[in-house]
Chains A and B, each alone.
Chain A
């Protein structure tokens, strides 16, 4: 029902998480039903799936994303085992013989139906609702809107579902089951089949808070005008990022020193309009920005610094300039409200050939002479 909406959190970093096969007894963490993002690290991908583990790793690297938690792969297993889904699937497969392209559609429908119709044991729901309440408390919002995102321990790019703008316990439980079920969509089953993997797959489910963007914008971890890597450029305007991304508004623009994180230049943008969600939360509309808000910068110095601090961490983490989408969440308090939505490598300057900016000279003395002769030109 929300498939028409852009996925809000799209951190797609690939991690060199190491695989630990040596352990036999389950640790406390391995028996968890829910783990918060900030409890996770890259090597936890076998507990919560890659996407979730990556988010934890990001947080560890100082890259803040929307707060939330993950239902573990163990929780999925607990669900299908205790509700008899696992044995039902195994029996079904026995009857089927083997999964083929021909019967995959039928197998998919069987599994999806089984999961979506089952009830979830209280050992899972009790904890899920308790942790969801904590997220509501953190945001100070009743039935805070969240997303559910599937997260497998192995990469199955884009073959599983994300559902947005989920509110309340009932809705949440409903979409968590739908997310679990999405592991049995035809594309997912055939992908596993091609790879020679098993039919049954337990996945992690990420439950991040939907970002309530007071402002959002784009960062380049270089100066986009000249490729200078010692600068960070920030474009920011009110509401959802669409307004900035699509060029609907002239945003506020900041040039910041990447090393010291001190602003060098601030330019006030027009910011006539902003994009916001409709009341129902399903579509985006454009509304006018009040004159008072237009005539001042949309973020303060501390927020700017925090955006740049995180952007610098991303640049360092990947070792190259990045293009970053961020938002400041109206429900959260500073600095937790500064949230990274999407990152991708910078593509313009990274492709250009890098030429020296300074002429080759014999030695320092030669450079001093050259400086004296050139002087400083008054433009």
Chain B
């Protein structure tokens, strides 16, 4: 078997995209200019971050990648001094983000970091609950601040308050300032996101490894079940839909909702009656904040939230109404889940043979449970709530640039880097100030047209799962938890490299166990939430990755397979909830499997087998 992947410097530029590098920050490029940096780049294992990014990056959208590049790394390296791990480095290749964990090799250096880590991380672990409450308050404060931002076209002449109230700062200045503030809040949100997360994963990883030592080969899904909270925020949006479905039946408005209308048409009908109006008022209550849930990962501008596209939650409510009327129980069985979780822990604990091991189990379980709500809830605050609102604030900026002809379509704004938008706004503001034609209207449309072509070519390209040289030890908690980077995964990827080179085709894919069980059924490859309705009862969902907002679909399917993700990724968590066999992190399920193929997935071994091609 191959022992390493392609050198990151050797990846070829796709013909017709020459010059693509200018769409992204210069420091995101692999480069041989500096021999020392190039040597480092060649010696690392870089894996494609398909968990967050199933598609190539529109230039603007890279800001969240920049945000976590900074936040995660600074916390490991400079704030908490995680003894052996410095963070995660990022690069971009043909529009796809590759990342690599940076470890510390020198034992002396690691040792020197321990006391600082003990003191700082210890403070967080000891005061976790209080700090989490304070964190939530800070996060909500930031969300309020974000809501308050708004962008309006610049006035022909300034309001007279500029003079008589001695405002002193112009609308142009204010526009620039607001934009900087918006971007600044985006980064701040991600500073918060990582404030507690790495410590959180470190504690959880300690527990999973403890279980693995006492009970080797225990499925990861089972271990996660022992610590997971039952009332995670990410489950709430779907719970709200179920509530609304029940409310519709109780108030006799279900027939209106079941009519083949879109959300707007449906709401218009509901406005006509008192119970309908009542239902709409309850809908409004549920929308903020719960409909800020994203239909994608939340990382891309096109990941619309339910609030952006009410047809999606309306479809889901319809699905729930039909299920309820068919006598199905669709509530999340929280009581049963709590019972199961406690029984699981009690049984495993009862099987431990020594006092020492029992103490290790108890201590690590307790710390893992303490930190877990944060792991579960931060995603709703950041990737869903904050991002959903943020994208729409950016659309107000797009309105302004569209108004002055810098971009032909409002959605073209995403083809600009965040810094380029700042430059464009400056172009606009100064031309507004002087009354002279800006350059933007002649410069940007041409550049954007070219970038669109490049993006199309990027989409046709399949990024390799990894580049460079696999390490002996992975110490970075995120790499293991989220991306599921383990020996087996790397081995499987290397096999893939080999198979691709040899042109050999197999009927099997290997991923990581996500949720236990074996199931057979027809596959359906779903690439975006808009086509989720195509899923038929009893099919196996095949997706790059899934978002919590896909939850309503999980009542229909038999199992799921994803390209990316570890045992903690959303698809794995939610499938365990619904007791659906799941394989995650297969690397290439969506390209390997075609809709209609009969497949068998084994959520225990991680094997996906094509039984019959469609």
**Residue positions of A touching B, CB distance < 8 A:** 223, 226, 228-231, 255, 257-260, 262-266, 301, 354-358, 360-361, 363-365, 367-379
B222 within 8 A of A: yes
Q: Which residue in chain A gives the minimum CB-CB distance to B210?
A: A358
- Shortest C-beta distance, B470 to chain A (Å), equals 7
User: Smallest CB-CB separation from B363: which chain A residue?
Assistant: A364
Closest approach, in angstroms, between the C-beta of B588 and any C-beta of chain A? 21
* Nearest CB of A to B381, in Å: 24
Q: Tell me which residues from 463 to 519 in chain B have a Cβ below 8 Å from any Cβ of chain A.
A: 470-475, 477, 480, 486-487, 490, 516-518
Q: When the two chains form their complex, are residues A260 and B604 in contact, meaning their CB atoms are under 8 A apart?
A: no
The chain B residues found within 8 Å of chain A, CB to CB, are: 82-85, 103, 110, 114, 117-118, 121-122, 125, 202-203, 205-206, 209-210, 213-219, 222, 344, 347-348, 351, 353-357, 360, 363-364, 366-367, 470-475, 477, 480, 486-487, 490, 516-518, 604-605
- 9 nearest CB pairs, A to B: A375-B475, A356-B356, A371-B206, A230-B215, A364-B363, A358-B360, A378-B487, A356-B354, A262-B516
**Cross-chain pair count, CB within 8 angstroms:** 138
A374 and B82 CA atoms in complex are apart in Å by 12
Q: Which residues of B contact A265 (CB under 8 A)?
A: 217, 604-605
Query: Are B217 and A372 neighbours in the complex by a CB distance under 8 Å?
Result: no
B202–A368 CB distance below 8 A: yes
Bound Cα distance from A98 to B360, whole angstroms: 68
B364 contacts across to A, CB distance below 8 A? 364, 367
Q: How far is the CA of A369 from the CA of B470 in the complex (A)?
A: 24
Cβ A364 vs Cβ B125 within 8 A? yes
| Chain A contacts for B486, CB-based, 8 A | 376, 378
Tell me, rounded to whole Å, the shortest Cβ–Cβ distance linking A203 to chain B: 40
Q: Which of B114, B214, B360 contacts A367 (CB under 8 A)?
A: B360
Interface of B is mostly: helix
Question: Chain B nearest CB: distance from A206 CB in Å?
Answer: 34
B171: min CB distance to chain A, Å: 51
B591 nearest CB across to chain A (Å): 26
Across the interface, do A358 and B83 meet the contact criterion of CB distance under 8 Å?
Answer: no
Q: Is the CB of B472 within 8 A of A377?
A: yes
Tell me if A376 and B480 are in contact (CB < 8 A).
Answer: yes
- Is the pair B366, A371 in contact by a Cβ cutoff of 8 Å? no
CB <8 Å contact, A230 and B473 = no
Instruction: Determine the chain B residues whose CB is within 8 A of the CB of A226 once the complex forms.
Output: 216
CA distance A375 to B472 in the complex (A): 10
Q: A230-B215, A365-B125 are in contact. Are A264 and B604 (CB under 8 A)?
A: yes
Contacts of A376 in B (CB 8 A): 205, 209, 473-475, 480, 486
Assess the A378–B472 pair: CB atoms within 8 A.
Answer: yes
The distance in angstroms between the C-alpha atoms of A265 and B604, with both chains bound, is 7
CB pair A358–B110 under 8 Å, yes or no, is no
Pick 21 A–B contacts, CB within 8 A, sort by A: A228-B217, A230-B214, A230-B218, A231-B217, A255-B217, A258-B351, A260-B222, A262-B219, A262-B516, A358-B210, A358-B213, A358-B360, A361-B360, A364-B364, A365-B121, A368-B367, A371-B202, A371-B205, A373-B84, A375-B473, A376-B473
Contact assessment for B347 and A372 in the assembled complex, using a CB-CB cutoff below 8 Å: no
Closest-CB distance, B568 to chain A (whole angstroms):
14
Instruction: Give chain B residues whose Cβ lies under 8 Å from the Cβ of A263.
Output: 518, 604
Q: What are the residues of chain B within 8 A of A266 when measuring CB–CB?
A: 605
Q: Collect the chain B residues with CB atoms within 8 Å of residue A255's CB.
A: 217
How close is A245's CB to chain B, nearest CB, in angstroms?
26
Q: Which A residues touch B210, using CB under 8 A?
A: 358, 367
Docked Cα-Cα span, A226 to B215, in Å, equals: 10
Query: What are the residues of chain A within 8 A of B344 when measuring CB–CB?
Result: 259-260
A379 lies within 8 A of B354 (CB): no
Q: 19 additional contacts, CB 8 Å, given A265-B605, A376-B473? A: A228-B214, A228-B216, A229-B351, A230-B215, A259-B347, A262-B219, A262-B604, A264-B604, A354-B354, A356-B355, A364-B367, A365-B118, A365-B125, A367-B206, A368-B121, A372-B202, A375-B474, A376-B474, A376-B480
Nearest-neighbour CB distance to chain B for A296, whole angstroms, equals 13
B residues less than 8 Å from A364 (CB atoms): 125, 203, 206, 363-364, 366-367
Chain B residues near A259: list those with CB within 8 A: 222, 344, 347-348, 351
* CA–CA, A356 and B353, complex, Å: 8
Contacts of B114 in A (CB 8 A): 369, 373
State the CA gap A262–B605 with chains docked (Å). 11
Hey, which chain A residues are within 8 Å of B209, CB to CB? 371, 376
Provide the residues of chain B in CB contact with A356, threshold 8 Å.
Answer: 354-357
Residue of B nearest to A362 (CB): B363
Check if A229 sits within 8 Å of B473, measured CB to CB.
no
Q: A375 CA to B103 CA in the complex, in Å?
A: 10
A363 with B363, Cβ < 8 A, contacts A230-B348, A372-B85 known: yes
* Residues on the B chain within 8 Å of A375, using CB: 84, 103, 473-475
CB closest chain-A residue, reference B603: A262
Give bound CA distance, A361 to B118, whole Å.
Answer: 14
A259-B348, A259-B351 known; A378+B474 contact, CB < 8 A: yes
Contact at A378–B122, with CB atoms within 8 Å?
Answer: no
